[in-house]
Amino acid sequence: MRDDRQKLVDILTAAQQAATFVEDLSFDEFVESELHHNAVLYSLGIIGEAAAKLSDETKHTYSDIPWTEVVGLRNRIVHGYFDIDLTVVFEIVKQNIPELIFVLEKIVPQLSSD
């Protein structure tokens, strides 16, 4: 079973991947590339799934991360896949994901890897 540190590493890795997938793309290029938006959606799904499995203690400790919204996005992607707004997805990856990466890059190294 993966511990919370491993889950946070998973979230960080998936966030970094999502950011990389769009770093050189305009919004129009992103929308036109099914490969890129599917890759980003997959990464966001991993982020939300790992976040959903974090302990309440970890979520409370790092309450500056909007865990409810992170998990909610995953649920929207998985259950509302037919109605995904790529404008919102692109904005999340360009605006919110870098903030998440910034926070997690400070948190993860401080955690024990026992």
Per domain, the residue ranges of the chain are: 4-108
Each residue's pLDDT tens digit, 8-55: 999 999 999 999 999 999 999 999 999 999 999 999 999 999 999 999
Which one is catalytic: 2, 37, 60, 79? 79
Instruction: Give the pair of three-digit tokens for residue 79.
Output: 């259950």
Q: Which of 8, 34, 10 is nearest to 21 (CA)?
A: 34
Is 2 among the catalytic positions? no
Which one is catalytic: 36, 37, 74, 76? 74
Question: Across residues 86-92, what is the average pLDDT?
Answer: 96
Is 36 among the catalytic positions? no
State the pTM of this model. 0.93
CA–CA dist 75, 48 (Å, integer): 8
Whole-angstrom CA distances from 35 to 21, 31, 90, 103 are 10, 10, 14, 28
